[in-house]
A and B are shown apart, each in its own frame.
Chain A
Amino acid sequence: MSAGAESQIASVPPKPVNVAAIERELGRLWDEPTPPDAAAHVTRACMSNLVVLCGAEADALALELPAIVRQHPARILLLATVDNQRDDLEAFVSAQCYLGSGGRQVCSEHVMVQARAAAMTRLPSIVRPLLIGDLPTTLWWAAGGSLAGDDLFEELIPLANQLVYDSAAWGDALPRVAPSLERAFALLHHFVVADLAWHRLQPWLHLISETLDPGALPGALESISEISIEHGARGLPPALLLAGWLASRLGWHPTSGDTPPTSPLTWTLQSAHGGVNAAVHHLPNGEEGIRTVTIRYARGGRVARLRFAHRAAGFWQATADGIEMPERRYTAPVPDRAALVAQQLSELGRNTLFQETLTMARQLAGTAPT
C-alpha cells in the first residue's frame, strides 16, 4: 500500500553537498530540525539501507521514495548515471518526513549521487562508508537494463543482503532476458533475490491455484495437457515465471523447446502423467503484461479449457469451456512499484517458491541444460 499523502508533513529539500561531506551534512539535518513543524518531536527512523541504482530516470524515481520510507523507513542512497552535468559527481542530501504516531515527525535520510559515466567507478567508494552498520542493505536495481555484465552492479552487490529488480523491465526479447535470468539465478545462492514482477504475478497464481484445486476440479492437475500464455509488452519475463511456477509445482520437466528470438516460444514438458505442451505468445499491441492464461486438460473423456484473464485493474477472471464451472472472479490490490519495494524491504528471508520458480524459468529460457 502506498503512503498516505495526507501524513506527509515536511521534508528538507535536496541540498547540494560536497561528496566528501555527505555524512557530515546528514548529521546536520538532525542538528537543525526541519522548520515546518518545529514543535513536533523529530525521530530519525531507519530500518534498512536502500541503495538504488538507476539511470536518467532519477528524478522520477525520487518521487517514489517518500512512499517507500513511509512504509519502511530507510537510509536511501540513490545512485544515478547522467551525462548532462558539469561535474563528474554531484551529491544532494535531504530528509523525508511524515507525521507518525504520537505526533512525532518521523524522518528518513536521502542521499542522491549523480555520476557521469567517467565517474561511475567511484560510486562504490561513496556508498561503503554511508551504509549504516547492523542494518540490512538492499540493492534495488532500478536501471532497467540487463542484470548481466554491469560492472557497477557487480561491485555493489557484495555490499547488500538483498537484491530487488523488476524483470518486466528487461523487455520481451529472449536473448536479452535469458542472461539476466541466469545472473539472478546465480545470485540466489548468496542473497535474498526478489523480482517485483513476481509479486505482480500473485493474483494470477492465486486464481489458478484455487480454480484447479483438487477439491474443486478433482484430477485436473494431473490431466493438464497444454498451457498457453499471452502477454503484451513487458510480459515475457512474467510469462516465463508463470510457466516456471506451474512446471516446478507440478513436477514438469522440459524435454525440448523451440525458443526463437521472436514469438511464440514453445516447449514440451514431461510430467509423471504424460506430456504437456507449453507456449508463450507475444501480442505486440494493447495492454502490458500477461493478458491470458489458458490451461487445457482432459479427464473422463471430456476436454476442458480453463481461461484466466486480466479484466481490469485489480480484477481477474476464470471461465471454463467443456465443464460446468461458474465464472470465478478474483480481486486483489494493485500495489505500485514503491509499495512493492517497501513491502520487499521487510522480507529478509528467502522465498523458496520464487527460487524454485526462477530456477525453472531459467531452464525454460534455454540457458540451462534441461
Chain B
Amino acid sequence: MTVANPLAEGLTDTLAAQPCTLVIFGASGDLARRKLLPAVYNLVLDGLLPAHFAVLGFARTHYDDSRFRAEARAGVEAFSRRPVDPARWPEFERMLHYLQGKPDDPASFASLKQRLEEIEREHAIPPNRVFYLSVPPSVIAEAVEHLKAAGLVAPPAPASPFSRIIVEKPIGHDLESARRINDALAQAFDEQQVFRIDHYLGKETVQNILVMRFGNAIFEPLWNQKYVDHVQITVAEEEGVGTRARYYEEAGALRDMVQNHMLQLLCLTAMEPPWSMDADVVRDQRLAVLNCLRPITARDLDCCAVRAQYAGGFVRGAEVSGYREEDGVAPDSKTETYVALKAHIDNWRWAGVPFYLRTGRRLPKRATEIAVQFKDVPPILFNIHSEAPLDANVLVFRIQPDEGMSLRISTKVPGARVRIYPVKMDFRYGSTFGDQSPEAYERLLLDVMAGDATLFMRRDAVEASWRWVTEILRAWENAPATLADYRAGTWGPDAADRLIQADKRSWRTL
C-alpha cells in the first residue's frame, strides 16, 4: 500500500520492498530454478523482503506446493550464491506456493485469482501483485489479456494496491513484433507498471559506470570526442549454444546480445548526465543515445557490420564442434554466433568517435568489458619516436568476470635512461570490497517490489534499439554472403579484424 507510513521512512538504505505476492509464470522452468528462486532466497537471508511476502509459482507442470518447494530447494542448493541454511529454510519454504495452470487458458486465471486471494489471506499480504512472465514471447500477449480479464490487474493509483508485470527478453524478434508485445502489455498495464528486465543492468559493475562517470571529477571532462579516440564494448562467451540451440537458432548474436545488453552498456557509457536519479530522467538520457545512433544500412555493411558463425576448433585444449553440428541446430543454419559492429553516435559529445561492439560464442574466454581508449599524446617529448609510440590511456570497466576497473597509464621505468612503460592501475571489486556482491536478479526483483524502474527498459527504448537492430537484420537478409565463419577458440573472423583495422585500430586482447 502506498499510504504514507512515517515509521517506514529512512528505515532502510536499500530499497524498501513493499508487501506483495510474486507470481512467477513459468515457475517450473530454468530461469526460476537457476535465478529467480535463489534470488528471492538471498533477499530473505539478507532481511530485505517484507514480513508479508509470498511466491506463487504458476506453470503447466503438475507440481503441488511441496514439489515446488523441493524444486526450489534443489535450485537454491545448485545455484544460490549462499548455501541453504537449514535453520532459515522452513521460514522461506512457507512463503512458496504453486498452482498448475496454462498461460493460454482463461480458466487457469480464475483459479489463479482464487489461489492468490487465499495466499494473501494466509500471509496477511495486501493485494499487491508482481507478475513475472518467464514465458516465451509468443505467450505474453495472451497471458496479459487473461490477467486483465480475470481482474488481476489494478490500475495505478496512489494509496491503492499495485499490480506490476516483469517481462523477460527477448521482447520480440524485430521492431514490429516488439511493438505488438508492447501494445499487448499496454492493453492491460500502464507503462509505469511494466518492468522489462535486462539483467545486465542489475550488475554492480554496470551500475558503477554511472558512479564512475558522474561521481568523480576527473573523468567527465575527458568523456567526449575531444579526448576519446574510440570505445570498444566486448561480450565474449566461451560456451557454445549448449541447450539453448532452439532459441538461439531463431535469435542469433545480434538479437541475443546486441539489441539489449550491449546497447544498454553503450547507453550508459555515452549518455549525458541525468539531472536526477529519477527513473524516467535516467531512462530519457539512455533513450537519447539510442535515438542518436547512426543507422547501419545495406550500403554500410562492409565498413560497419560483420557476422559470422563458429566452425569446429579447440577451446582450452578441448576439441569442440562447429555451430552447425550442435544439437538442435540446422545443418544449413544461417544464424550468426558472432557480430562485430562499428557504431556512431551522432551528437555533439560523440561526433566522430567510433564505438566498436563485438560479441560471440566459442571465443577463447568469457569476458565482458567496456574499454574507453583516449587519444594519443602529441608526438613530441616522450612520444616522439613514431616507430615506438606510447600506448594510449585506456579506461576499462570489467563487467564479468573479475568485476572491476583498470586504467592504463605510461610511466618511467626506473633507471638512468628515460624508458616509458605502460602499467595498469587495477581496481577489483573482489579484493577491494571483499564479500560477494548480490546477483543482478536480487537487485532487480527488489527494485520491482519497491517500484523503482530505473534499471528497467522503457517501451520507447526497447523500440528504439529494435529500430536500429532491425535495419541491420534487413540488410543481412538481403546479403547472405556476408555470413563468415571463424574457428571455435579464436577471437572471431578475419572480417572483424579488417573492420577495425580499416580505421588503423585493433581489437583489444582480453
B332 within 8 A of A: no
Contact with B along A299-315 (1 / 0, CB 8 A): 00000000000000111
**A212-B5 contact, Cβ under 8 Å, with A70-B435, A71-B434:** yes
Of all chain A residues, the one with the shortest Cβ separation from B3 is A214
Chain A contacts for B431, CB-based, 8 A = 43, 45, 73, 100-101, 104, 106
Within A180-205, which residues are at the interface with B (CB < 8 Å)? 202-203, 205
Query: Are B9 and A72 closer than 8 Å at their CB atoms?
Result: no
CA of A104 to CA of B126, assembled, Å: 48
Q: Which one, B40-48, B137-145, B253-261, is touching chain A?
A: B40-48
Q: Is B434 a contact partner of A328 (Cβ separation < 8 A)?
A: no
Q: Is B86 an interface residue (CB 8 A)?
A: no
* Residues of chain A from 202 to 233 with CB closer than 8 A to chain B in the complex: 202-203, 205-216, 218, 221
Q: Is the pair B430, A100 in contact by a Cβ cutoff of 8 Å?
A: yes
In the assembled complex, the Cα of A91 lies from the Cα of B12 at a distance in Å of 40
Query: Can you list, as one digit per residue, whether each of A86-127 has a CB less than 8 Å from chain B (1) or not (0)?
Result: 000000000000101110101000000000000000000000
Q: Are A209 and B434 in contact (CB under 8 A)?
A: no
Query: Is B10 part of the binding interface, using a Cβ–Cβ cutoff of 8 Å?
Result: yes
Q: Which chain B residues border A207 with CB–CB below 8 Å?
A: 51
**Contact flags (1/0) for A343-370 with B, using CB distance below 8 Å?**
0001100011100000000000000000
Contacts A326-B124, A329-B51 given; does A250 touch B6 at CB 8 Å: yes
Q: Which residues of B in the span 1-47 have a Cβ within 8 Å of any Cβ on A?
A: 1-13, 19, 44-47
Q: Is the interface of A mostly helix, strand, loop or mixed?
A: mixed
**Closest CB-CB distance, B427 to chain A, in whole Å?**
10
B430 adjacent to A101 (CB under 8 Å): yes
Residues of chain B contacted by A100 (CB below 8 angstroms): 428, 430-431, 434
Q: Verify if B432 is at the interface (C-beta below 8 Å from A).
A: yes
Whether B503 is near chain A, meaning CB under 8 Å from some CB there, is no
Measured between beta carbons, the chain A residues less than 8 angstroms from B12 are 202, 206
Bound together, the chains give a CA A352 to CA B435 distance in angstroms of: 27
B interface size (C-beta, 8 A): 38
Q: A214-B4, A215-B3 are in contact. Are A202 and B47 (CB under 8 A)?
A: yes
Q: Report B172 CB to chain A, min CB distance, Å.
A: 37
Bound: A58/B367 CA distance, A? 45
Chain A residues whose C-beta falls within 8 Å of the C-beta of B13 in the assembled complex: 347, 351
Do B9 and A353 have beta carbons less than 8 Å apart?
A: yes
In the complex, which residues of chain B have a beta carbon less than 8 angstroms from the beta carbon of A262?
none
Contacting residues, chain A, for B126 (C-beta < 8 A): 215-216
Nearest CB in chain B to that of A107: its residue: B431
Q: Does B275 contact A (CB under 8 A)?
A: no
B52 touches A210 (CB 8 A): yes
Q: Which chain A positions have C-beta within 8 A of B11?
A: 202, 205-206, 209, 353
Q: Which chain B positions have C-beta within 8 A of A313? A: 87
- Enumerate chain A residues within 8 angstroms of B10, measured Cβ to Cβ: 351-353
CA distance A250 to B8 in the complex (A): 11
Cβ–Cβ < 8 Å partners of A47 in chain B: 432-433
Which residues in A have their C-beta under 8 angstroms from that of B50?
206, 210
**Chain B interface: which of A15-23, A148-156, A273-281, A330-338?**
A330-338
Inter-subunit contact B435/A1 (CB<8 Å)? yes
CB-nearest residue of chain A relative to B159?
Answer: A215
A69-B434, A213-B5, A216-B1 known; A333-B52 Cβ under 8 A: no
Q: Does B88 contact A (CB under 8 A)?
A: yes
Residues of B within 8 A of A210 (CB): 8, 19, 50-52
| Nearest residue, chain A, Cβ from B6 | A249
Residues from chain A with Cβ under 8 Å of B4 in the complex: 214
Chain B hits for A250, CB < 8 A = 6-7
- The SS class assigned to the B binding surface is loop
8 A Cβ contacts from B159-204 to A: none
Set of chain A residues within 8 Å of B3, measured between Cβ atoms: 213-215, 218
Count chain A residues whose beta carbon lies closer than 8 angstroms to a beta carbon of B.
54
The one of A45, A214, A331 that contacts B432, using a Cβ cutoff of 8 Å: A45
Q: State whether A328 touches B8 (Cβ < 8 A).
A: no
Instruction: Tell whether, in the assembled complex, residue A101 and residue B428 are in contact, meaning their CB atoms are under 8 Å apart.
Output: yes
Chain A nearest CB from B439 CB (Å) reads 15
Q: Which residues of A contact B387 (CB under 8 A)?
A: none
| Contact, CB under 8 Å: B6 / A328 | no
| Residue of A whose beta carbon sits closest to that of B426 | A43
What distance in Å separates the Cβ of A134 from its nearest Cβ neighbour in chain B?
14
Check A9 for interface membership: any CB of B closer than 8 A.
no
Residues 431-445 of B, flagged 1 when their CB comes within 8 A of A and 0 if not, give: 111110000000000
CA gap between A246 and B124 in the complex, in Å: 23
Min C-beta distance of A297 to chain B, whole Å: 13
Complex-state Cα separation, A328 to B433, whole angstroms? 35
Contacts of A43 in B (CB 8 A): 428, 431
B7:A209 contact, CB within 8 angstroms? yes
**Within 8 Å of chain B (Cβ to Cβ): is A3?**
yes
Pairwise interchain contact B402-A102, C-beta atoms closer than 8 A: yes
Please provide the chain A residues from 123 to 141 with a CB less than 8 Å away from any CB of chain B in the complex: none
The reply to whether B91 and A214 contact each other, CB–CB distance below 8 Å, is: no
Query: CB < 8 Å: which of A69, A205, A213 contacts B1?
Result: A213
Query: Complex: how many Å from CA A202 to CA B48?
Result: 11
**A45 to B429 Cα, complex, angstroms:** 11
**Chain B residues in 8 Å Cβ range of A71:** 433-435
- Residues on A with C-beta less than 8 A from B46 are 333
* Nearest B residue to A1, CB-CB: B435
Asked whether any CB of chain B lies closer than 8 Å to the CB of A62, the reply is: no
Q: Which residue of B lies closest to A315 (CB)?
A: B91
The answer to whether A212 and B124 touch across the interface, beta carbons within 8 angstroms, is no
CB <8 Å contact, B91 and A329: yes
Check A325 for interface membership: any CB of B closer than 8 A.
yes
Query: Bound complex: CA of A247 vs CA of B95, how far in Å?
Result: 33
What is the CB-to-nearest-CB distance from A310 to chain B, in angstroms, rounded to a whole number?
14
Residue of B nearest to A43 (CB): B431
A250 to B9 alpha-carbon distance, docked (Å):
11
B87 closest partner in A (C-beta): A314
B45 surroundings in chain A (CB, below 8 A)? 333
Which of B10, B44, B46, B126 has most chain A Cβ within 10 Å? B10
Contact at A331–B44, with CB atoms within 8 Å? Answer: yes
With both chains docked as a complex, state the minimum distance between the C-beta of A312 and any C-beta of chain B, in angstroms.
Answer: 9
CB neighbors of A among B345-388 (8 A): none
Q: Nearest CB to that of A108 among chain B residues? A: B434
Contact A328 B124 (CB under 8 A): yes
Inside 8 A of A101's CB, which chain B residues have their CB?
A: 401-402, 428-431
Which residues from A are CB-within-8-Å of B430?
Answer: 100-102, 106
Tell me the bound Cα distance from A100 to B436 in angstroms: 10
Q: Shortest Cβ distance from B422 into chain A, in angstroms?
A: 19
Q: What are 27 A-B residue pairs whose CB atoms fall within 8 Å in the complex?
A: A71-B433, A72-B434, A100-B434, A101-B401, A101-B402, A106-B431, A202-B47, A203-B47, A206-B11, A206-B47, A206-B50, A210-B19, A210-B52, A211-B51, A213-B3, A213-B19, A250-B7, A251-B6, A318-B51, A326-B123, A328-B52, A328-B124, A329-B51, A346-B433, A351-B13, A352-B10, A353-B11
Given A102-B428, A206-B12, 4 more A-B residue pairs with CB atoms under 8 Å apart are A47-B432, A212-B7, A213-B5, A246-B7
The 9 closest A-B pairs by CB, nearest first: A215-B1, A101-B430, A332-B47, A353-B10, A209-B7, A100-B431, A214-B3, A106-B431, A330-B51
